[in-house]
Amino acid sequence: MNTSYLRTFIEVINLKNISKAAEKLFVTQPAVSKQLQLLEKDFGSELFKKNGREIIPTEEGYMLYKYDKKLLSEENEIYSMLRRDGDKMAGNLTVYTSSMPADYYIHDLIIEFSHMYPDITYIIKKIDSDMVFKNIEEGFTSFGFTGTPYKNKKIKNICIAEDEVVVVASTQKSKEFNSDTISLNELLKQKFIVREKGSATLQLFENYLIQKRVKLNDLNIIIQAEDNDIIKKFIINNLGVAVLPKKAVEIEINEGKVFILNIEGMELKRKLYYVYEDDRYFSKAEQKFKEFMIGKHKC
């Protein structure tokens, strides 16, 4: 029995789709189908069936899936203990990350990890926090980075950094205010440039507004954008105010291009997380990266 076929079987069941599994494994769809056929021939059992467009395991398939993950995890552990090439490790890591970790933290983590395991390659996909969790739940990845924890008990959240979310405006706009501290009512009169729905930054600010009995739709939102750098360009050119992570505007603040508007009673702290589903098969590279990230637990 070829254990690579077992890994293919796990991905097909996780993703409930042969073509998605083929995409993740960097092989062709016919190759995946052939491996599944060989597995069924080896075991003499039907291992999966179609439910509409989805592929789901049969009773025998679920039994194999359950022990398959355990077997491959133990194989990884044994290989790690017995291999004679020191810390040499190869493989690919597909990193799904929301914008804040992607823009300001991921590069340092990967640089450090690459020094430990130089033969690992990476694909980095920048999406919002909601999509990171969706990809984990749908089995397309085992882990990711987000700006918010998840309530699903199956998904573990490891805090790796802390930051503050602030309201910023162009320094040209400072003339409109008597001081750097303004009331919420004054803030609500401003034009807003905000992140897209699903952004952890926007969600944190929206939660604050809800506590003040204000709806996000009550704001005069003139632009929604998916990228902090785009938003900063609009702010610098005095198109409105924006809610951004403080880390994202440190350079612009120091250069005197933007300033922080202190809002009475508003203090928005946020944490950044490495998130993963514990009950999931991890490749050797993913397992090493998980151990590395758990060691980075900071808050």
pLDDT tens for 128-172 read: 888 899 888 877 788 999 988 888 788 999 999 998 999 999 998
Considering only residues 17 and 178, tell me which one the structure prediction assigns the higher pLDDT.
17
Q: What is the pLDDT of residue 153?
A: 80
Q: What is the pLDDT of residue 241?
A: 95
Q: What is the pLDDT of residue 270?
A: 87
Bridge partners, residue 241, by sequence: 192
Residues 195 and 206 sit within 8 Å (Cβ to Cβ): no
Q: Which domains does the chain have, with CATH numbers?
A: 3-82 (1.10.10.10), 90-161+272-294 (3.40.190.10), 162-269 (3.40.190.10)
pLDDT at residue 81 tops 80: no
pTM value is 0.66
Residue 72 tokens read as 């491959």
Q: What is the pLDDT of residue 87?
A: 54
Considering only residues 79 and 89, tell me which one the structure prediction assigns the higher pLDDT.
89
Q: What is the pLDDT of residue 86?
A: 47
pLDDT at residue 230 tops 90: yes
DSSP-derived secondary structure letter, 212: T
Categorize the per-residue pLDDT at 101 as very low, low, confident or very high, splitting at 50, 70 and 90: very high
Gap between the Cα atoms of 3 and 8, Å rounded: 9
Q: What is the pLDDT of residue 297?
A: 79
- Crossing angle of helices 284-294 and 59-82, in 10° steps, is 70
Q: What is the pLDDT of residue 150?
A: 84
3-state secondary structure of 121: strand
3-state secondary structure of 163: strand
Instruction: Give 17's Cβ-side CA count (13 Å radius).
Output: 10
Q: Judge residue 216's burial from the number of C-beta atoms within 10 Å of its C-beta, 0-12 exposed, 13-18 middle, 19 or more buried.
A: middle
Q: What is the pLDDT of residue 293?
A: 93
Max intra-chain CA distance, the chain = 79
pLDDT at residue 125 tops 60: yes
Q: Which residue in the block uniquely carries the two structure tokens 């350079």?
A: 251
For 3-45, the pLDDT digits (tens) are 788 888 888 888 888 998 888 788 899 999 998 998 888 888 8
pLDDT at residue 182 tops 60: yes
3-state secondary structure of 297: coil
Bridge partners, residue 168, by sequence: 242, 260
Helix, strand, coil share of the chain (percent; to 5): 45, 25, 25
Share of the chain above pLDDT 90, in %: 40
Categorize the per-residue pLDDT at 207 as very low, low, confident or very high, splitting at 50, 70 and 90: very high
Residues 170 and 258 sit within 8 Å (Cβ to Cβ): yes
Amino acid identity of 161?
Answer: A
